[in-house]
Structure 1
């Protein structure tokens, strides 16, 4: 394979970092150049003094990173000086460089001492390609495969191959994977679908490509109509599209990556091979189909809940006004009562005549209201709510019905009748008459029958349709599922296929590299239980200490109360040190950071250009500053000599989520190598990270922006979830202001691609749930949340008692069901491996694990996850 065909993986700075001599501090020199007896004996066995020193240096380098190096003398003279002054005291040596043969002989000894093998294509190439082919099914990003190759070599005790070797292997793996998929599509795709895809690329089909890419920005009927148009046009192709992609066994991450190629290339998609066009478009159609269905479902849920809330507000206001009006009509009611004692009325008059005269004074409804008022009763709020729904006939027959007919429902044990009724309703509404004719009265509760049945016991069919719609939103937590929508489908659909799991369980567990998952549950549970008991005892001992300043126990009136100490706020001023530092422009700071890290090189061209030209360096800096300061490229164009079209083109070509992540990782990795970085550690050799959400008001309306009167007033906004390790922002996610932060904690950690790997994670109360405790522990992290009301947490979880010697003893109020953990350990392993393989987005799976906990009868394995989480929470 020619070099031009090799995929670019590392920047030049990253290549120098991995394949160049490491820069050791004095502490690193003492650690890596220290020798045991065997190493010292082999070093002294070399005759040439310079080679002895070189062996010690290269051995230390290899311990730091298993790469074969051939550095020049002047590159490592400081380390050589340390060796002959400290490790092997001697007179030193003259400058020299190793010949290839000398270097090979020294590394033979290094491999022997470290129990490693030298990379050999014949011996190791095929096995590495097979391993990377398996990894490519989860994620084909070259950097991911590069890291996977290094992990494989580390696991197999093989020295990391040369960069060009890994480039060639990874390029071959990615190319073979795409060629395999393109060949399969050529054989399996129907002629009609091929024609439809060609029309999309050429813009000659019934649905313009521009309209296909347009999506709803909010929940209004006009915007949701965009999703309905897409649904109607691609609906008949989706069964074949889903079948084709399922045979390719693409992971969710790969599918998203390939789908994004359509947005990356745009009109230039025509330049790609036909096979690549098919692959990208099929993935895009499925992603766009999923997006349309999810937004249709979200829109349906939104309008049903909004209508229900408006009906409740209307009903409360109507009842209040009715009560007020009845109070004012008491005087007229007196006139009605006077009719019964009016001597001028002939007693022989029919009652109907007198009744008619009474109704001329007060209407029937007003008279009923006065009667209720006199009895100190009010009209039914529920009746007023149903009256409001009756007035919203156009919404029910229009937008809601259209959205409802796009959805396919499945029920569980307790909702089978509801799912059947929904399916039957859809069939009738899809019929020629488009009228709902039958109703399942078994679904009606005793309370609802009063409002959905008329006086003769017949169903009010319009209200019954509203009734069905109102049952859906609150049951999309596992009771009802939408199998076509990732967000609302059953949990089992997000996990590794059951048959594949049973056949390949042990292989999958070994590939996950998680030691806890491979252990026997009884042994692991016993170990965790001992750790929990020990921790509870230690905490009790700590609380007894007189110098305990972290948790204070108050005992007023015999009732324990726990609280954290609160210190008075001092007047905050800037440290005088910072006043001595001159003010520097942000552009100058960015140029300095780029000089030291080369992060601008991470903004690769969307078409995969091999050129490393930095001709757009200042344009990219302007775009970054403009977007970061919320001015945008239009604002930057107004105040600079760059045109809007120029900045817009460069932004489209270079600025993407993946390039932003790469640049951020580049800066963070360089920061982590600075000697000062470790002084930010709260604990020695422990990186403590923190995740929190910050609310931002949005200028533009998107489907993710939401109202929040607490944060945005009458405006919309989003929440930016940020993962901070020490002082470095290593990952971030933008979520809706209505979404729960705890669902994204695990996703932030697992999608972190920087070299800064947190050991401990803290969040505020919004980031806490039992599932996070269990998952983070299984994946090797410690979860240490900051509770706003720590006293309430302690009182809810623990019984605090005193023994005979009046020492504090803590024990759990609710015992942990360890039997359930062991019983469903296989399911816990399957969930963890599915998260590792990115079978679905990790936030989606965590959300389901968290929200389904109230429906454990339908999802029994959730109990085991929650029990495991409770055990880890108790230990924390």
Structure 2
């Protein structure tokens, strides 16, 4: 927000003109707003003379359009005046307007306002608007938003808006009060050590030319190791400040909109402005909000990088395993053909039973060299390998490269779980302690990790048995397995990041909504007045109406871009850009949409397990989904 003539600019020049300058009607608007009802015409006819009557008619039209009264300059409203004369005073061939008195002007204003049920602005409404402005600020501190909400409030209460300077003063006072509130909390909450830590962000590092804040602002361009390593270092370095910000924000009680707004001001102001020009409390507020938002983004970036790197690792291992298994299958097929030739020696009629075995061996070695045959016999354990065997062999061979990126990310990210006693969270914590102490997994017995993280079907791949018969971890394989489970359970919602935007738990979202609900309860927001069940019923009814409208339009042939195939019960969307048609399979189950919303409401209100809802939701939506085929 910028100051103009030492006053807060709450509206742009165009917005100010739209609200406070008399309207300039076009022909259509004249037909709409200057079309007077019989009651309005009677009000006009009650004026003392023709000038007062025309003036009153114009004020009625302008009030209907703007809910304001304006001083009328007859020269500037000639077209509107001509329209009034033609419509309501055709008997007067000529009209020579005269200026009406102040008494007549204000009398007309009172009469017109009373006719439409409005109250003229007076100072007695200022406390009401100040109180409303203070509540609005809790939602959004931007002046434009406050003004829009105040105008809506006055329109609802049928109070004429005040002059621009009065409105400007009300908004300014409300913002100043909010600044004082925040400044007091910051002053009382931050210690000298906290202030010093925040101020360090505004100064250059010893070994670099950028300030800590400028360095923190730089975004990673991709998921390359160097970029992600820098992101990880940033997250670790600002974690103490984030914990400080988290604690302070709980006292400031900012809405998400205001939190983002204050954080954005760090990008708006230069480091010099933050350090020298702004008040220290303002600087601390902007920095705290920015650090909070930046930490959440960094946490999301690291989690996304972890999932990306793991996916790359999985794809490479899967591809390598498939190639190795294909080679193995081909070699087995070749060996089988050779073995058939060797077996034929036993049924070859040309060889008599009395022949020396040495002759048979020579023929066998002609088929396969002795050394190669000997190796096959001595080293082949007769166990046929499967694709999964090659998969874990490829983990041994290739995972160590990806581990260099995945392990530091796992160490930096703070995971949480929706389950109170999650074995996966325990394992992650154990691995962090292990790697933090520079220890390896393979030195520990398998009982060191929770049993539920040791699936029986994979035990032969994840664990080795030593000479003493003790089972030990196969280090890389178990670590890889845990990383895969982390990704899987994060997607399922069992694991989550508490300090995140995109990877929070659903329970966090619900709790946050409840907290925000308590904050906005006194704000008199129309959308929050109705019970949730009514809102859901309204949305379901809207959806049902849309489906019926779609069905009606389709049956009447209005939707020319769609064709229905009776054989496959599918609707085809014509694609003029291709020769064929792009098929889109749509299952029209309107009841499913209703069921999903009602099921969510019932489960939420009855305190049911949210994971059960998600499982049920998946089953329902599986039957009511949009399937695209190329």
| 2-structure distance, mates of 1:569, 1:499 | 50
Cα distance change, pair 51–495 in 1 and its aligned pair in 2 (3 A): farther
Q: Does residue 797 in structure 1 map to residue 576 in structure 2?
A: no
Match of 1:23 in 2: 24
Which structure 1 segments of 5+ residues have no match? 348-355, 571-786, 799-810, 829-854, 872-876
User: What secondary structure does 2:8 align onto?
Assistant: coil
| 1-structure distance, mates of 2:125, 2:145 | 19
Deviation at 1:538, TM superposition (A): 6.8
Match of 2:140 in 1: 139
Deviation at 1:73, TM superposition (A): 1.6
Match of 2:226 in 1: 222
Match of 1:514 in 2: 527
| 2-structure distance, mates of 1:789, 1:569 | 12
| 1-structure distance, mates of 2:605, 2:615 | 9
Match of 2:216 among 212, 219, 240: 212
Q: Does residue 857 in structure 1 map to residue 611 in structure 2?
A: yes
Q: Is the 8 A contact 1:339 1:358 kept in 2?
A: no
Cα distance change, pair 103–205 in 1 and its aligned pair in 2 (3 A): farther
| 1-structure distance, mates of 2:463, 2:513 | 46
Q: What are the residue-to-residue correspondences of 1:785-864 with 2, within 5 Å?
A: 789=583, 792-793=585-586, 796-798=587-589, 816=595, 820=599, 823=602, 857-858=611-612
Superimposed CA distance per residue, residues 319-339 of structure 1 (whole angstroms, 9 cap, x where no aligned partner): 122333444556776799799
Deviation at 1:497, TM superposition (A): 4.2
Please report the RMSD computed on the Cα atoms of aligned residues, expressed in angstroms.
Answer: 4.2
Q: Does residue 248 in structure 1 map to residue 39 in structure 2?
A: no
User: What secondary structure does 1:68 align onto?
Assistant: coil
Which structure 2 segments of 5+ residues have no match? 347-354, 362-369, 626-630
Match of 2:449 among 439, 448, 454: 439
Deviation at 1:50, TM superposition (A): 1.6
Q: Is the 8 A contact 2:118 2:160 kept in 1?
A: yes
Deviation at 1:284, TM superposition (A): 1.7
Superimposed CA distance per residue, residues 188-227 of structure 1 (whole angstroms, 9 cap, x where no aligned partner): 1122111112222233679733322333221111111211
Q: Does residue 424 in structure 1 map to residue 430 in structure 2?
A: yes
Match of 2:628 in 1: none
Superimposed CA distance per residue, residues 660-710 of structure 1 (whole angstroms, 9 cap, x where no aligned partner): xxxxxxxxxxxxxxxxxxxxxxxxxxxxxxxxxxxxxxxxxxxxxxxxxxx
Q: Is the 8 A contact 2:562 2:574 kept in 1?
A: yes
| 2-structure distance, mates of 1:497, 1:815 | 26
| 2-structure distance, mates of 1:346, 1:863 | 70
Superimposed CA distance per residue, residues 211-247 of structure 1 (whole angstroms, 9 cap, x where no aligned partner): 2233322111111121122123222232222101221
| 2-structure distance, mates of 1:136, 1:319 | 65
Q: Does residue 494 in structure 1 map to residue 504 in structure 2?
A: no
Superimposed CA distance per residue, residues 571-601 of structure 1 (whole angstroms, 9 cap, x where no aligned partner): xxxxxxxxxxxxxxxxxxxxxxxxxxxxxxx
| 2-structure distance, mates of 1:498, 1:486 | 14
Superimposed CA distance per residue, residues 762-792 of structure 1 (whole angstroms, 9 cap, x where no aligned partner): xxxxxxxxxxxxxxxxxxxxxxxxx9646x2
Deviation at 1:505, TM superposition (A): 7.6
User: Bigger radius of gyration, 1 or 2?
Assistant: 2
User: What secondary structure does 2:300 align onto?
Assistant: helix
| 1-structure distance, mates of 2:595, 2:495 | 29
User: What secondary structure does 1:454 align onto?
Assistant: strand
Cα distance change, pair 554–111 in 1 and its aligned pair in 2 (3 A): same
Match of 1:407 in 2: 413
Q: Does residue 161 in structure 1 map to residue 177 in structure 2?
A: no
| 1-structure distance, mates of 2:215, 2:519 | 44
Cα distance change, pair 124–484 in 1 and its aligned pair in 2 (3 A): same
Superimposed CA distance per residue, residues 279-335 of structure 1 (whole angstroms, 9 cap, x where no aligned partner): 111112222222221211111111111111111111111212233344455677679
Cα distance change, pair 861–471 in 1 and its aligned pair in 2 (3 A): closer
| 2-structure distance, mates of 1:159, 1:493 | 43
| 1-structure distance, mates of 2:341, 2:375 | 8
| 2-structure distance, mates of 1:861, 1:504 | 32
Q: What are the residue-to-residue correspondences of 1:358-369 with 2, within 5 Å?
A: 361-362=375-376, 367=380
Q: Does residue 115 in structure 1 map to residue 117 in structure 2?
A: yes
Q: Is the 8 A contact 2:603 2:613 kept in 1?
A: no
Q: Is the 8 A contact 1:405 1:426 kept in 2?
A: yes
Q: What are the residue-to-residue correspondences of 1:175-194 with 2, within 5 Å?
A: 175-194=176-195
TM-score (ref. length: structure 1)? 0.59
Cα distance change, pair 50–167 in 1 and its aligned pair in 2 (3 A): same
TM-score (ref. length: structure 2)? 0.80
Deviation at 1:45, TM superposition (A): 1.0
Q: What are the residue-to-residue correspondences of 1:259-278 with 2, within 5 Å?
A: 259-268=263-272, 269-270=274-275, 271-278=277-284
Q: Is the 8 A contact 2:228 2:305 kept in 1?
A: yes
Most deviating of 529-538 and 171-180: 529-538
Deviation at 1:67, TM superposition (A): 2.7
Most deviating of 250-259 and 189-198: 250-259
Q: Is the 8 A contact 2:186 2:281 kept in 1?
A: yes
Q: What are the residue-to-residue correspondences of 1:527-538 with 2, within 5 Å?
A: none
| 1-structure distance, mates of 2:153, 2:10 | 17
Match of 2:494 among 474, 479, 483: 479
Superimposed CA distance per residue, residues 448-487 of structure 1 (whole angstroms, 9 cap, x where no aligned partner): 2231123555432332111111112232232211111121
| 1-structure distance, mates of 2:14, 2:539 | 44
Match of 1:450 in 2: 460
| 2-structure distance, mates of 1:528, 1:214 | 42
| 1-structure distance, mates of 2:287, 2:232 | 20
User: What secondary structure does 1:295 align onto?
Assistant: helix
Most deviating of 389-398 and 356-365: 356-365
Q: Is the 8 A contact 2:573 2:582 kept in 1?
A: no
Superimposed CA distance per residue, residues 129-176 of structure 1 (whole angstroms, 9 cap, x where no aligned partner): 222222222222222222122112112212222222222222222232
| 2-structure distance, mates of 1:293, 1:333 | 58
Q: Is the 8 A contact 2:345 2:360 kept in 1?
A: no
User: What secondary structure does 1:28 align onto?
Assistant: helix
Most deviating of 444-453 and 177-186: 444-453
Q: Does residue 62 in structure 1 map to residue 63 in structure 2?
A: yes
| 2-structure distance, mates of 1:129, 1:359 | 96
Q: Is the 8 A contact 2:33 2:61 kept in 1?
A: yes
Q: Is the 8 A contact 1:483 1:489 kept in 2?
A: yes
Superimposed CA distance per residue, residues 599-653 of structure 1 (whole angstroms, 9 cap, x where no aligned partner): xxxxxxxxxxxxxxxxxxxxxxxxxxxxxxxxxxxxxxxxxxxxxxxxxxxxxxx
Cα distance change, pair 569–327 in 1 and its aligned pair in 2 (3 A): closer
Match of 2:105 among 92, 103, 106: 103
Deviation at 1:181, TM superposition (A): 1.2
Deviation at 1:70, TM superposition (A): 2.0
Cα distance change, pair 160–496 in 1 and its aligned pair in 2 (3 A): farther
| 1-structure distance, mates of 2:199, 2:545 | 66
Cα distance change, pair 518–134 in 1 and its aligned pair in 2 (3 A): same
| 2-structure distance, mates of 1:36, 1:825 | 52
Q: Is the 8 A contact 2:189 2:248 kept in 1?
A: yes
- Bigger helix fraction: 2
Aligned residues: 588
Match of 1:463 among 470, 477, 483: 477
Q: Is the 8 A contact 1:224 1:299 kept in 2?
A: yes
| 2-structure distance, mates of 1:259, 1:223 | 23
Cα distance change, pair 98–255 in 1 and its aligned pair in 2 (3 A): farther
Superimposed CA distance per residue, residues 491-550 of structure 1 (whole angstroms, 9 cap, x where no aligned partner): 343356466467578646x41x238x615736973x777777777777666666588867
Deviation at 1:11, TM superposition (A): 2.9
* Bigger RCO of structures 1 and 2 (CA < 8 A, at least 6 apart): 1
Deviation at 1:19, TM superposition (A): 1.6
